[in-house]
Amino acid sequence: MASRTFTSTRRRADITAVSRQKLQDNNYHSRSNSIPLSVVADFLRAVREPGTSFTALQQFLDALDLNGEKLTSDLTRHTSGAEIATLLNDAQKLKAVDIALIFAVLEKIILMLASDSAGESFVMELAEELLSKHGKTFYYMLKTTNKSNQIKSALKLLIALATLGNRSVKLILTHFSFPSSNMSSLVTRRNTVDPQDVRACTIHFIIAMLMFGDSVSVRMLVETKGVLASFFPGLVVDRSELIHLFLSTLLDRVVKNMAISKTTKILLFNQTSLKQISKLFLWSGHKKSEKEFVEDEALSTVILEERTRVKDMALHFLTEVCSSSKFGIVFQDRAFGTGPKNCNHVLTELLRTMSFSSPYHRQLAKTILISAPDQLIHFLPSWKPGFVPRESEKWKGMMGWLSAVYGELHAPSRLAKITGPSRVQCALAFFLPSCIDSEMLTEGFADKQSVEVSFVFLKFLYGCLLRAYKMCFLLNPNERKDYVRLLSQRAVDPQLVASCYESARAKMDQVEAERKRIIEEQFVRYLLLDSTMFERDIPAVQIEASLMEELSQKMEEELASFETEFVHSKEGMEVFQPSRDKVEKKIREKERQVAAERLRTQTAQLLLHLVERSSELLNVKLMDLLLSSYGGTLSEADQTILCILRRSESTNTSECFSSSISYSAFGKIGQKLQQRRERSGVDLAREVTLAEFMEGLQTSTLQRTVAEFPVRLPLNRSNAEFIDGRIYDPAYLLPNFFNLLHGPKINVTNFIESGCLGFLVAALASLDKGIRGAACACLKILEDKIDPTHFKGKEQLRYILQMIRRASNADKPWPSLWTTMLHRFFLMMLDSRNHMYQIIMEFLLTKPMPNLDSVPEFYKLFESGNLTHVKERTFMLEVLRDGVRHYSDFEICSRTHVWELVMSLCNSPLSTPAHSHLVTEVFLAASRIPFVGRALVKSHGLFTWLAYQLSCPSEDVQIVSMLVICAENCMVDLLRSKRRAIYDAHALLSPLLKTTKLGLPVDAQRALLQFAQSLLLVHSSEERLKCLVTPEDLAAIVAIGVSLVGSSRMSMDNATWRKRCECTIKMTKLLSVNSPGSEVCVWNLSLFLSVVLSNEISVLPFD
């Protein structure tokens, strides 16, 4: 198109006057129509012909105010939206004032046609042209160097475009760059005279997008960094109408929008944003800037109703955001703040900015604490000075507020929903605020305190004690015992209350009789409840007999009603159910889980068979379903699903299919994305971030994976060679870590704390070159990502990663001993005060290249003479227990005489019970490794050591059980060799059988019988057989066998179990008539062991 040259616009006022005069002359087509015929023609000429004056545009703009509907109707018949947009084709040659006029005309046209269905295609065509081709013109007009009216012309045009509906809003989100629009500067541009100043227009633009966009568009806008958050600063000096419109729109379209994740909401409503909104409780009218903001209400000139309306709106908004776990940012902490992690740190920071003097702050704080009880522990200590007992109306108000908070918590009903070992700690958290310590309890009943102060304080404590009494009914006997013991340590000394009561009686001479009786009753009621709760005598005090009898009777009735209520309630009945019912319920639940997993495996295998025959079945819907059910573990079902996913990735190489699937979205992440896809109808998959991927990993499973890393598992495999649903599959995790670590922003601290770094290091010990290579690549990316970040221990981590890279050899795996030590080091790395961190860090800094053929720092830690030697030796034993994973690890330990030193520690004067337990675990773990059990027996005399340990008197059933299983593991390893030499195993049978008096668990009983069976199989000499089994040994074996058959009832069907019992009875009778040392007896004993150890009916010896 030829260059468009417009007449100079220096005298815009003259042009406007001329156009208006022209509209007012008598050359009208009709008296009934005040628009001249030439207006539309002149406007179209200005659009189509270069060199046209701006007079036609101004005239058309003024005419739109008079009869816009007819003009726009004529316009749609004679031109198109795309042609109208050509007015901006040469915008780079125009001045801002000229572009502002064009924007004003376009805004009016859009607003006139927005409600006209006939002009929908016209206006949408215009919108697409403006947003896709003239973005630079918008950015130019939004420059802060332009005048306010020029900036507002661009904003108003954007508002008009947004009001066209969701399609137009998506065009804006696609083509309009918010960072290029100076949004953060525009929101600070105010005009106290103009209610539609630049800031107001900017806010109206965003409000229009929120109101007219659908859930997906709103989510995209909220996730656009720095847009909505830029409006919160300065909100306290905005006009009340703008505040109300902005907050109410945010509440309806963002807070209550289920398409927006809680994580996204927390990023928007962080402590900074919430603090700005909470400033509205001090709103005192519209100001030019925050510098003019004053908190003194006396200086306010606005009416009281307007102030109240703004504050109420702010309270309503903050209440919805900060007290709802469904729509807001509240995470429900099942440990109620007693765990190590603060689940609602944003709420903690907001609460700490509040002042008790503000009624709005008090109400909001109360609502938050009731909705997020974990904040009782994290926040209340910051208000501790306010709770110190003193003669003050403010203090009385705070105690009343605290009583109301704890009263509305409904602690017993919350406690009834808690399971696990944290119940007692949670009940303690509901008993008394942590900020009320022993010093404050003493202060509340000191002689210097007035009677009213002590009365108010005691009334609060009585409510706490009564609440604790109710919660006792929800605890089992053991929990209740611990709870009452811990309560007695935190409760106020009854003697102190009694002394205060005696002192109060002397001070109440001037107190009214009725008030005096109320105070006395409160003291007596507390002493009675304390006596009932902790089963201790009431201190000797002067109490009227009639008062004591009356209150005792009332309390008995009240407490009895509590007991009746809980016994007959649903929660109470669950507590008093017989333990047998719970056991059976667990068994049934386990059976259901096993059946469900079996069905899942069969379904996955069927799907794999189908897709192998027809790859057309691999569509997006099936991938969503598989990823949602995929757990990422080494279970048979998960490995089968992974085979399908790999086939899908290699078969469907189309860009459309690839963009619709995110292979990192597994389990719960995949379920969320699938639901989001179904709601929005969008096929494209959103990329999963590293933080989201780590959130989907279970900490316990990841830690178990590191501790039991499958070193023999290959990266590329076609079938389930190794099955263990308790650990993650490195073949899935490593490629995802490699892709996600390339992300723009990595939280290194979370990556370390979650155990992901330990997982990568554990993979270096794999025997598969592919897994080691993938782990090294991930560690290299992480090393590169450290530089732009800032966190505690950054330089130390960089050094260790560089050391790992230098020591890594592509053809040689790392010893598991080293990877285990590094994993444990990483877990405590962020705590520089940790004693073991300092020792290991010093060791790693000593040499740039570690000696991987040694046990790291074994002698220094195991033979430590420091005061912390117990802790250091414990750390070393734990590394040995988890770190010996392969025969090469065993050889490293052998070269440094580790096995002999560890054996000498057990049951020595230097050993502790915990160390003996760890030593046993070390040998048990080592005995499970192929060839290691055989080498321990052959070269290190393990059977002799086991015989000695079993002969030592011990009441620790767990240690004895581990020794028995260790002996069986070594025996199995010995029988794998060609020689089948069992060395001195025969000397171990009698010590093993003597352990049965301790009541061994089923797995130990089975191991013991399998050891005896193996021993019988390798003894062919009759003379040796006669010496092998004594009458006492025979009786012990039969007793264990019968017990094992009885306990196997739940592991087989009725017919098999009855058959097994019949065979056991027959074999027991045969053994009773044979000589214990005869060959016949040994043969029958072998058959007997086959019967009791077999789970299959087909292998039983006879019918």
Instruction: With beta carbons less than 8 A apart as the criterion, state whether 300 and 284 touch.
Output: yes
- Asked if the model's pLDDT at residue 758 lies above 90, the reply is yes
Phi, psi angle pair for 332, to nearest 5°: -80, 115
Instruction: pLDDT band for 4, please (50, 70, 90 cuts).
Output: very low
* Residue 155 neighbours by CB under 8 Å, 6+ apart: 142, 186, 198, 201, 202, 204, 205
Say what the pLDDT of residue 848 is. 76
Of 239-243, 293-297, 638-642, 933-937, least confident by mean pLDDT is 293-297
Say what the pLDDT of residue 757 is. 94
Say what the pLDDT of residue 1038 is. 80
- Concatenated DSSP letters for 530-542? HHHHHT-PPP---
Site of tokens 């214990």? 1076
CATH superfamily of this structure's domain 12-233+240-252: Leucine-rich Repeat Variant (1.25.10.10)
Say what the pLDDT of residue 289 is. 56
Average predicted confidence (pLDDT) for the chain: 81
Instruction: With beta carbons less than 8 A apart as the criterion, state whether 127 and 171 touch.
Output: yes
Amino acid type, 1098: S
Q: What whole-number distance in Å separates Cα of residue 697 and Cα of residue 628?
A: 14
Instruction: pLDDT band for 1, please (50, 70, 90 cuts).
Output: very low
Say what the pLDDT of residue 1095 is. 58
Instruction: With beta carbons less than 8 A apart as the criterion, state whether 693 and 669 touch.
Output: yes
Say what the pLDDT of residue 652 is. 67
Q: What whole-number distance in Å separates Cα of residue 1077 and Cα of residue 873?
A: 47
Count Cα atoms within 13 angstroms, Cβ side, for 477. Answer: 4
Say what the pLDDT of residue 1027 is. 56
Say what the pLDDT of residue 763 is. 94
Residue percentage of the chain with pLDDT more than 70: 83
Show the tokens assigned to 857. Answer: 């720092």
Say what the pLDDT of residue 11 is. 35
- Asked if the model's pLDDT at residue 13 lies above 90, the reply is no
Which secondary-structure segment (H or E) carries 955?
none
Q: What is the pLDDT of residues 768-784, one digit of tens each?
A: 999 999 999 999 999 88
Instruction: With beta carbons less than 8 A apart as the criterion, state whether 456 and 399 touch.
Output: yes
Q: What is the pLDDT of residues 649-703, one digit of tens each?
A: 777 655 555 555 677 888 888 777 777 766 665 555 567 888 888 988 998 899 9
Whole-model pTM: value is 0.52
- List Cβ<8 Å contacts ≥24 apart for 575-584: 575/473, 575/474, 575/475, 575/476
Of 62-76, 321-335, 1011-1025, least confident by mean pLDDT is 1011-1025
Say what the pLDDT of residue 12 is. 40
Say what the pLDDT of residue 981 is. 63
Say what the pLDDT of residue 681 is. 57
Average pLDDT over residues 30-55: 64
Q: In a 10 Å sphere around its CB, with 0-12 CB exposed, 13-18 middle and 19+ buried, how is residue 2 labelled?
A: exposed
Show the tokens assigned to 190. Answer: 């105010």
- Asked if the model's pLDDT at residue 7 lies above 60, the reply is no
Say what the pLDDT of residue 1029 is. 64
Q: What is the pLDDT of residues 477-498, one digit of tens each?
A: 788 888 888 888 888 888 898 8
Q: Sign of torsion, CA 258 262 264 266?
A: positive
Strand partners, 30: 33
Instruction: With beta carbons less than 8 A apart as the criterion, state whether 551 and 525 touch.
Output: yes
* Residue 692 neighbours by CB under 8 Å, 6+ apart: 263, 669
Site of tokens 């991930």? 778
Which secondary-structure segment (H or E) carries 978?
none
Say what the pLDDT of residue 655 is. 55
Say what the pLDDT of residue 204 is. 95
Mark out the alpha helices in 698-849 (DSSP H runs). 699-707, 730-740, 748-753, 756-762, 769-785, 794-807, 816-827, 835-846
More confident residue, 1071 or 527: 527
Q: What is the pLDDT of residues 398-439, one digit of tens each?
A: 889 888 888 888 777 777 777 766 788 888 887 888 888 888
Name the 3-class secondary structure at 726: strand
